[in-house]
Protein backbone atom coordinates (compact mmCIF):
# COMPACT_ATOMS: atom_id res chain seq x y z
CA UNK A 1 0.00 0.00 0.00
CA UNK A 2 1.35 3.44 -0.91
CA UNK A 3 1.45 6.21 1.69
CA UNK A 4 2.41 9.71 0.53
CA UNK A 5 3.31 12.62 2.78
CA UNK A 6 4.23 15.11 0.05
CA UNK A 7 1.81 16.41 -2.57
CA UNK A 8 4.48 16.60 -5.29
CA UNK A 9 5.06 12.86 -5.02
CA UNK A 10 1.36 12.07 -4.85
CA UNK A 11 0.64 14.25 -7.90
CA UNK A 12 3.44 12.54 -9.83
CA UNK A 13 1.98 9.16 -8.94
CA UNK A 14 -1.56 10.19 -9.91
CA UNK A 15 -0.55 11.84 -13.21
CA UNK A 16 -0.51 8.65 -15.29
CA UNK A 17 -3.75 7.49 -13.65
CA UNK A 18 -5.47 10.76 -14.53
CA UNK A 19 -4.18 10.79 -18.13
CA UNK A 20 -5.27 7.17 -18.66
CA UNK A 21 -8.83 8.34 -17.79
CA UNK A 22 -9.16 5.95 -14.86
CA UNK A 23 -11.74 7.05 -12.31
CA UNK A 24 -10.47 8.25 -8.93
CA UNK A 25 -12.63 7.92 -5.82
CA UNK A 26 -11.59 10.15 -2.93
CA UNK A 27 -12.42 9.96 0.78
CA UNK A 28 -11.17 12.94 2.83
CA UNK A 29 -10.72 12.23 6.55
CA UNK A 30 -9.03 13.64 9.63
CA UNK A 31 -7.94 10.13 10.62
CA UNK A 32 -8.98 8.18 13.72
CA UNK A 33 -10.42 5.81 11.14
CA UNK A 34 -13.54 3.90 12.18
CA UNK A 35 -16.16 1.70 10.50
CA UNK A 36 -17.95 4.78 9.15
CA UNK A 37 -14.84 5.83 7.18
CA UNK A 38 -14.30 2.24 6.06
CA UNK A 39 -17.86 2.13 4.68
CA UNK A 40 -17.12 5.28 2.63
CA UNK A 41 -13.92 3.65 1.38
CA UNK A 42 -15.79 0.47 0.47
CA UNK A 43 -18.29 2.47 -1.57
CA UNK A 44 -15.41 4.29 -3.27
CA UNK A 45 -13.72 0.96 -4.06
CA UNK A 46 -16.96 -0.36 -5.59
CA UNK A 47 -17.42 2.67 -7.84
CA UNK A 48 -13.92 3.70 -9.01
CA UNK A 49 -10.72 2.32 -10.59
CA UNK A 50 -8.47 3.94 -7.96
CA UNK A 51 -9.19 5.10 -4.41
CA UNK A 52 -7.34 7.81 -2.48
CA UNK A 53 -7.91 8.60 1.20
CA UNK A 54 -6.49 11.67 2.89
CA UNK A 55 -5.62 11.72 6.58
CA UNK A 56 -5.09 15.28 7.75
CA UNK A 57 -6.16 17.08 10.91
CA UNK A 58 -6.91 20.41 9.29
CA UNK A 59 -5.98 23.28 11.66
CA UNK A 60 -8.01 25.98 9.84
CA UNK A 61 -11.36 24.32 10.59
CA UNK A 62 -10.83 24.34 14.38
CA UNK A 63 -11.92 27.46 16.18
CA UNK A 64 -10.67 26.09 19.46
CA UNK A 65 -6.94 25.39 19.91
CA UNK A 66 -7.61 22.85 22.68
CA UNK A 67 -9.90 20.85 20.41
CA UNK A 68 -7.21 20.82 17.74
CA UNK A 69 -4.54 19.70 20.21
CA UNK A 70 -6.77 16.97 21.62
CA UNK A 71 -7.80 15.57 18.22
CA UNK A 72 -6.57 11.94 17.99
CA UNK A 73 -3.63 11.35 15.65
CA UNK A 74 -3.29 7.62 15.06
CA UNK A 75 -1.70 7.33 11.62
CA UNK A 76 -0.11 3.90 12.07
CA UNK A 77 -3.33 2.35 13.29
CA UNK A 78 -5.33 4.14 10.56
CA UNK A 79 -3.05 2.83 7.82
CA UNK A 80 -3.32 -0.72 9.22
CA UNK A 81 -7.13 -0.53 9.24
CA UNK A 82 -7.23 0.79 5.66
CA UNK A 83 -4.79 -1.91 4.53
CA UNK A 84 -7.07 -4.56 6.02
CA UNK A 85 -9.88 -3.30 3.79
CA UNK A 86 -7.72 -3.15 0.66
CA UNK A 87 -4.05 -3.05 -0.19
CA UNK A 88 -4.79 -0.88 -3.23
CA UNK A 89 -5.93 2.28 -1.47
CA UNK A 90 -3.55 5.24 -1.79
CA UNK A 91 -3.07 7.17 1.47
CA UNK A 92 -2.20 10.86 1.48
CA UNK A 93 -1.13 11.95 4.97
CA UNK A 94 0.45 15.39 4.51
CA UNK A 95 2.13 17.64 7.04
CA UNK A 96 0.57 21.04 7.76
CA UNK A 97 3.38 22.67 5.75
CA UNK A 98 2.85 20.41 2.74
CA UNK A 99 -0.72 21.76 2.55
CA UNK A 100 -0.41 25.34 3.77
CA UNK A 101 3.18 26.12 2.83
CA UNK A 102 3.82 28.28 5.89
CA UNK A 103 0.54 30.23 5.71
CA UNK A 104 -2.04 28.34 7.76
CA UNK A 105 -4.99 30.54 6.88
CA UNK A 106 -8.48 29.71 5.62
CA UNK A 107 -9.85 31.20 2.42
CA UNK A 108 -13.23 32.99 2.76
CA UNK A 109 -16.20 31.21 1.19
CA UNK A 110 -19.75 32.20 0.31
CA UNK A 111 -22.18 29.31 0.63
CA UNK A 112 -25.45 31.24 0.13
CA UNK A 113 -26.16 31.27 3.87
CA UNK A 114 -25.66 27.53 4.47
CA UNK A 115 -22.69 28.46 6.66
CA UNK A 116 -24.78 30.55 9.08
CA UNK A 117 -27.03 27.72 10.26
CA UNK A 118 -26.45 25.16 13.03
CA UNK A 119 -22.77 24.16 13.16
CA UNK A 120 -21.79 27.37 11.36
CA UNK A 121 -23.58 29.56 13.91
CA UNK A 122 -21.76 27.83 16.77
CA UNK A 123 -18.30 27.51 15.22
CA UNK A 124 -17.28 30.75 13.47
CA UNK A 125 -14.93 30.19 10.53
CA UNK A 126 -15.32 26.42 10.67
CA UNK A 127 -16.79 26.05 7.18
CA UNK A 128 -14.21 28.41 5.66
CA UNK A 129 -11.60 25.98 6.97
CA UNK A 130 -13.51 22.99 5.58
CA UNK A 131 -13.97 24.67 2.17
CA UNK A 132 -10.28 25.61 2.08
CA UNK A 133 -8.96 22.13 2.75
CA UNK A 134 -11.52 20.27 0.61
CA UNK A 135 -10.87 22.57 -2.39
CA UNK A 136 -7.10 22.15 -1.98
CA UNK A 137 -7.41 18.38 -1.75
CA UNK A 138 -9.67 18.29 -4.82
CA UNK A 139 -7.06 20.33 -6.72
CA UNK A 140 -4.26 17.96 -5.70
CA UNK A 141 -6.09 14.66 -6.21
CA UNK A 142 -8.51 15.59 -9.03
CA UNK A 143 -11.07 12.98 -8.01
CA UNK A 144 -13.92 11.80 -10.22
CA UNK A 145 -16.07 11.07 -7.15
CA UNK A 146 -15.64 12.34 -3.59
CA UNK A 147 -17.41 10.67 -0.66
CA UNK A 148 -18.82 12.44 2.41
CA UNK A 149 -20.90 10.96 5.22
CA UNK A 150 -24.40 12.26 5.89
CA UNK A 151 -23.57 12.40 9.60
CA UNK A 152 -22.08 15.81 8.85
CA UNK A 153 -24.99 16.69 6.60
CA UNK A 154 -24.36 20.43 6.71
CA UNK A 155 -20.76 19.86 5.64
CA UNK A 156 -21.98 17.68 2.76
CA UNK A 157 -24.34 20.42 1.50
CA UNK A 158 -21.61 23.04 1.91
CA UNK A 159 -19.11 20.99 -0.09
CA UNK A 160 -21.76 20.56 -2.82
CA UNK A 161 -22.27 24.33 -2.89
CA UNK A 162 -18.50 24.99 -2.97
CA UNK A 163 -18.11 22.60 -5.92
CA UNK A 164 -20.99 24.25 -7.78
CA UNK A 165 -19.80 27.82 -7.13
CA UNK A 166 -16.22 27.06 -8.15
CA UNK A 167 -17.21 24.93 -11.16
CA UNK A 168 -15.12 22.03 -9.91
CA UNK A 169 -15.29 18.87 -11.96
CA UNK A 170 -16.03 16.42 -9.16
CA UNK A 171 -19.10 14.41 -8.29
CA UNK A 172 -19.91 14.73 -4.58
CA UNK A 173 -21.47 11.54 -3.22
CA UNK A 174 -23.40 11.65 0.08
CA UNK A 175 -23.31 8.36 1.99
CA UNK A 176 -25.81 7.19 4.64
CA UNK A 177 -24.85 7.45 8.30
CA UNK A 178 -23.07 4.32 9.46
CA UNK A 179 -24.38 3.25 12.85
CA UNK A 180 -23.30 0.88 15.61
CA UNK A 181 -25.73 -2.02 16.08
CA UNK A 182 -27.13 -0.01 18.99
CA UNK A 183 -28.05 2.82 16.60
CA UNK A 184 -25.34 5.22 17.79
CA UNK A 185 -23.87 7.10 14.81
CA UNK A 186 -20.22 6.14 14.27
CA UNK A 187 -17.81 8.90 15.24
CA UNK A 188 -14.22 9.23 16.44
CA UNK A 189 -15.68 11.03 19.46
CA UNK A 190 -17.47 7.85 20.62
CA UNK A 191 -14.04 6.59 21.74
CA UNK A 192 -14.06 9.25 24.45
CA UNK A 193 -17.27 7.86 26.03
CA UNK A 194 -17.31 5.40 28.93
CA UNK A 195 -19.11 2.11 28.17
CA UNK A 196 -22.06 3.36 30.24
CA UNK A 197 -22.29 6.64 28.32
CA UNK A 198 -21.93 4.81 24.99
CA UNK A 199 -24.94 2.73 25.96
CA UNK A 200 -26.88 5.82 27.09
CA UNK A 201 -25.98 7.73 23.91
CA UNK A 202 -28.12 5.30 21.89
CA UNK A 203 -30.98 7.42 23.25
CA UNK A 204 -30.15 10.13 20.70
CA UNK A 205 -31.05 8.00 17.68
CA UNK A 206 -34.02 6.48 19.51
CA UNK A 207 -35.47 9.97 20.10
CA UNK A 208 -34.70 10.99 16.51
CA UNK A 209 -36.71 8.03 15.21
CA UNK A 210 -39.58 8.93 17.54
CA UNK A 211 -39.32 12.55 16.39
CA UNK A 212 -39.73 11.38 12.80
CA UNK A 213 -42.92 9.61 13.80
CA UNK A 214 -44.27 12.68 15.61
CA UNK A 215 -43.35 14.87 12.62
CA UNK A 216 -45.23 12.65 10.19
CA UNK A 217 -48.33 12.53 12.38
CA UNK A 218 -48.37 16.17 13.48
CA UNK A 219 -46.33 19.36 12.99
CA UNK A 220 -42.94 20.96 13.57
CA UNK A 221 -43.79 22.51 16.94
CA UNK A 222 -44.98 19.21 18.41
CA UNK A 223 -41.83 17.51 17.12
CA UNK A 224 -39.56 20.11 18.74
CA UNK A 225 -41.56 19.98 21.99
CA UNK A 226 -41.37 16.19 22.00
CA UNK A 227 -37.58 16.13 21.69
CA UNK A 228 -37.05 18.97 24.16
CA UNK A 229 -39.15 17.12 26.77
CA UNK A 230 -37.41 13.81 26.03
CA UNK A 231 -34.02 15.36 26.83
CA UNK A 232 -35.23 17.34 29.81
CA UNK A 233 -36.02 14.11 31.64
CA UNK A 234 -32.63 12.55 30.81
CA UNK A 235 -30.30 14.52 33.04
CA UNK A 236 -27.10 12.83 31.78
CA UNK A 237 -27.53 14.81 28.56
CA UNK A 238 -27.31 18.48 27.71
CA UNK A 239 -29.26 19.24 24.56
CA UNK A 240 -27.34 21.91 22.61
CA UNK A 241 -29.83 22.13 19.77
CA UNK A 242 -32.60 20.27 18.00
CA UNK A 243 -33.69 21.79 14.72
CA UNK A 244 -36.10 20.82 11.96
CA UNK A 245 -34.67 22.24 8.74
CA UNK A 246 -35.23 22.31 5.01
CA UNK A 247 -32.79 19.76 3.58
CA UNK A 248 -31.68 22.00 0.69
CA UNK A 249 -31.08 25.40 2.30
CA UNK A 250 -30.77 24.12 5.90
CA UNK A 251 -33.01 26.88 7.19
CA UNK A 252 -35.00 26.14 10.30
CA UNK A 253 -38.66 25.53 9.51
CA UNK A 254 -41.66 26.19 11.69
CA UNK A 255 -44.37 25.10 9.28
CA UNK A 256 -44.49 22.01 7.05
CA UNK A 257 -45.07 22.49 3.32
CA UNK A 258 -45.73 19.81 0.74
CA UNK A 259 -42.97 19.02 -1.83
CA UNK A 260 -40.20 20.07 0.57
CA UNK A 261 -37.68 17.71 2.12
CA UNK A 262 -37.05 18.03 5.83
CA UNK A 263 -34.38 16.75 8.15
CA UNK A 264 -33.99 16.91 11.93
CA UNK A 265 -30.58 17.85 13.34
CA UNK A 266 -29.42 17.31 16.88
CA UNK A 267 -26.39 18.03 19.03
CA UNK A 268 -26.33 16.62 22.55
CA UNK A 269 -23.54 16.37 25.11
CA UNK A 270 -22.87 13.48 27.41
CA UNK A 271 -19.74 13.17 29.63
CA UNK A 272 -18.65 16.47 27.98
CA UNK A 273 -18.51 14.78 24.58
CA UNK A 274 -20.39 16.61 21.84
CA UNK A 275 -22.44 14.15 19.77
CA UNK A 276 -24.08 15.05 16.49
CA UNK A 277 -26.73 13.17 14.51
CA UNK A 278 -29.57 13.74 12.04
CA UNK A 279 -32.46 11.96 10.37
CA UNK A 280 -34.49 12.46 7.20
CA UNK A 281 -38.08 13.21 8.21
CA UNK A 282 -39.90 12.60 4.92
Q: Where do contacts with ligand PAF occur on this chain (CB under 6 A)?
A: 28-30, 58, 61, 130, 133-134, 152, 155
| C-alpha to C-alpha distance for 59 and 105, rounded to whole angstroms | 9
- Catalytic-residue membership of 37: yes
Give how far Cα 142 sits from Cα of 19, 27, 135, 198, 255, Å.
11, 12, 10, 38, 41
Nearer to ligand PAF, 36 or 207 (CB): 36
**Least distance from ligand PAF to the Cβ atom of residue 276, Å:** 11
**Least distance from ligand PAF to the Cβ atom of residue 175, Å:** 12
Supply the DSSP string of 130-195, one letter for each residue.
Answer: HHHHHHHHHHHH--SEEEEEGGGHHHHHHHHHHHHHTT---EEEEEPPPB-TTSPBP-GGGGGS-H
**Least distance from ligand PAF to the Cβ atom of residue 143, Å:** 13
| C-alpha to C-alpha distance for 133 and 102, rounded to whole angstroms | 15
Choose, from 37, 126, 254, 269, the residue flagged as catalytic.
Answer: 37
**Least distance from ligand PAF to the Cβ atom of residue 264, Å:** 20
| C-alpha to C-alpha distance for 176 and 39, rounded to whole angstroms | 9
276 close to 187: Cβ distance less than 8 angstroms: yes
Question: Three-class SS of residue 22?
Answer: coil
Nearer to ligand PAF, 5 or 22 (CB): 5
**Least distance from ligand PAF to the Cβ atom of residue 225, Å:** 31
Q: Which residues does 211 contact at the CB level (< 8 Å), separation at least 6?
A: 223, 226, 227, 242, 264, 279, 281
Nearer to ligand PAF, 27 or 211 (CB): 27
The two beta strands, 145-149 and 3-4, are: unpaired
Nearer to ligand PAF, 131 or 205 (CB): 131
Nearer to ligand PAF, 161 or 212 (CB): 161
Q: Give catalytic residue positions.
A: 37
Amino acid sequence: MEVFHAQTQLKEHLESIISSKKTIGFVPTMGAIHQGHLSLLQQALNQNDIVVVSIFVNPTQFNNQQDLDKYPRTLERDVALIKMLSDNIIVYAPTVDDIYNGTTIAQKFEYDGLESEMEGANRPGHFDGVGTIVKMLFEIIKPTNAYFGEKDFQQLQIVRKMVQKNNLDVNVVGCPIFREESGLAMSSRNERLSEKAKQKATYIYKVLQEAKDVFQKSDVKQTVDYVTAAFKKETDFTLEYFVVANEDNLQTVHQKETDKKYRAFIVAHIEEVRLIDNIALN
